Structure 1
Amino acid sequence: MTSPDPKTGERSASIYRMVMPGHICPYGVKARWLLKRHGYDVDDHWLKTRAETDAFKAQHDVKTTPQIVIDGQRIGGHDDLRRYLGLKVKDPNATSYVPVLTVFAVAALLALAVNWLTFLPLLSFMTLERFVAIAMMLLAMLKLQDVDRFATMFLNYDLLARRLPPYGLVYPFLELGAGVLMLTRTLDWLSIPVALFIGGIGAVSVFQAVYVEKRDLKCACVGGSSTVPLGFVSLTENVMMIAMALWMVAGIGH
């Protein structure tokens, strides 16, 4: 336990965290950094073995480490410390558009980079084409990290996947393949119908679930652990594929 230094008035804190040969608790590192950043003199106690950690938990009747004590008061763990310091604590279940917006931002940067390397104007119709194709590939990559989890989440709203569950397992590969072919403008006769097929079914499915049935769901567009709400952004992914395919059809006609 700690208390303010009577001479300097310096704030002090103690932290009890796991520092073992095979494991260093990341939340303990983060908590120690927060304390120092906020001007605390930190008394850093290492729990060097599993037995020592379990004994500490039993003695203080706590379930997790690290544990932080400030001026004689046990604050709790890393999240409790953030609350104590008036900092925001992230809700892991909160809805967020950050994942999909990140995909679109990276896709835009990659499209610009490819144009730069191929000596094309940075802003042109080709930039937009490449952006859509790259975004499809990136979204497919996120789904492919755990195809089964994506397919399970996909079943919540996709009309074809409900009737034919294996479609959810194939979908990321179709999206990736169509994106690659569209980026390279290879085998348009294959990429265009694939994009129209998966994009069309996806658009109808999202519209049905969100705007007709008014269901509150998470979108599987960035993988099976997504917190992105099913709605406008999800619809955008499918509309982009349809628009890209129709654009390419118009281009072939010329």
Structure 2
Amino acid sequence: MPLDQKGADARHAQLYRMVMEGHVCPFGLKSKDLLQRRGFTVDDHWLRTREETDAFQREHHVETTPQVFIGGERIGGYDDLRRHFGQHVKEEGETSYRPIIAIFSVGLLMAVAVSYVAHGSVLIVRAIEWFIAISMCLLGVQKLQDLDGFSTMFLNYDLLAKRWVRYAYLYPFGETLAGVLMIAGAFVWAASPIALFIGTVGAFSVFKAVYVEKRELKCACVGGGSSVPLGFISLTENLMMIAMAIWMPIRMYVIG
């Protein structure tokens, strides 16, 4: 399957991607979009059958599609194309704070929205409470999506879970329940002890693993398979729970 002569043009790209009746390659679509956004004219060649795809791979000695050619030179697949344009390509196991940034950012925006609807203002103490409580719920949901994956990571460092494995499975339920009750401002007599207990145990566990034993671990705070490093973020999560556990009873039963 020879390349079109236009491939010699440096601003002209040849794209070969699978477009079959039951499957359209998503990386092919991404490659085409990236090329067009970079100002390339794209000759979009569809590989419509498995046989046609296999023949293309044999001819060009490649194992995957899509394949991009620029100026007569094979660039490769989507990740190779990103590297060609100097864009970052995440490697397996690479550290990333994106999940935790997304959770806290959405939690803050939700707290601001709820505060505005409920009180017509965002500059109130209740907005901070909602931010922490909503963030607890979002973090809990991340863990509940894959309890086995979370528990496996959690057992690497949590002091109580190492002694009682079932605690690793109960933790996400406790965090989520405490967050929901604190959002509602209901049953604080139950929510505060739960948050205080799991937050305190968690804080001691993280501090011991990271700052005393100097271990390099992945944080289970956003669920199993997380690439967020254990340390300040997880410690912050636990300290937020402790702060809410102490503050909520004071606000409700002392300040009134």
TM-score, structure 2 as length reference: 0.92
> 1:17–1:45: 8 Å Cα contact kept in structure 2?
yes
Q: Secondary structure at the match of 2:13?
A: strand
Report the counterpart of residue 51 of structure 1 in structure 2: 51
Q: Which moved more, 1:55-64 or 1:65-74?
A: 55-64
Give the corresponding residue for 2:21: 21
Q: Aligned partners of 1:190 and 1:147: how far apart in 2? A: 23
Percent of residue pairs bearing the same amino acid type: 56
The count of corresponding residues between Structure 1 and Structure 2 is: 252
1:3 Cα deviation from its structure 2 partner? 4.6
- Indicate the larger mover: 220-229 or 120-129: 120-129
89-98 or 230-239, which deviates more: 89-98
Counterpart of 1:253 in structure 2 is 254
Shift of 1:168: 1.2
1:79 aligns with 2:79: yes
The 3-state SS of whatever aligns with 1:228 is: coil
Moved more, 49-58 or 229-238: 49-58
Which residue number corresponds to residue 157 of structure 1?
157
Which amino acid is the alignment partner of residue 87 of structure 1? Q
| SS in structure 2 of the partner of residue 219 of structure 1 | coil
1:40 is aligned to 40
Aligned to 2:88: 88
How far residue 61 of structure 1 moved from its aligned partner, in angstroms, is 2.0
CA contact (8 A) 2:10 2:71 kept: no
Q: Describe the SS at the equivalent of 1:156.
A: coil
Q: Unaligned 5+ residue runs, structure 2? A: none
Any stretches of 5+ residues in structure 1 without a counterpart? Answer: none
With 171-180 and 121-130 compared, the bigger mean Cα shift is at 121-130
TM-score with structure 1 setting the length: 0.93
User: Structure 1, residues 124-149: CA drift from partner, whole Å, max 9, x if none?
Assistant: 11111111111100110111111111
Contact 1:2/1:69 (8 A) holds in 2: no
Residue aligning to 1:101 = 101
Matches within 5 A, 1:1-254: 1-3=3-5, 11-251=11-251, 252-254=253-255
Deviations 1:72-130 (A, max 9, x none): 21111111112222333233422121211211111111111111111253111111111
Give 1:5 shift.
8.0
Q: Name the CA distance, whole Å, in 2 between partners of 1:106 and 1:18.
A: 36
For the aligned residue pairs, the C-alpha RMSD in angstroms reads: 1.8
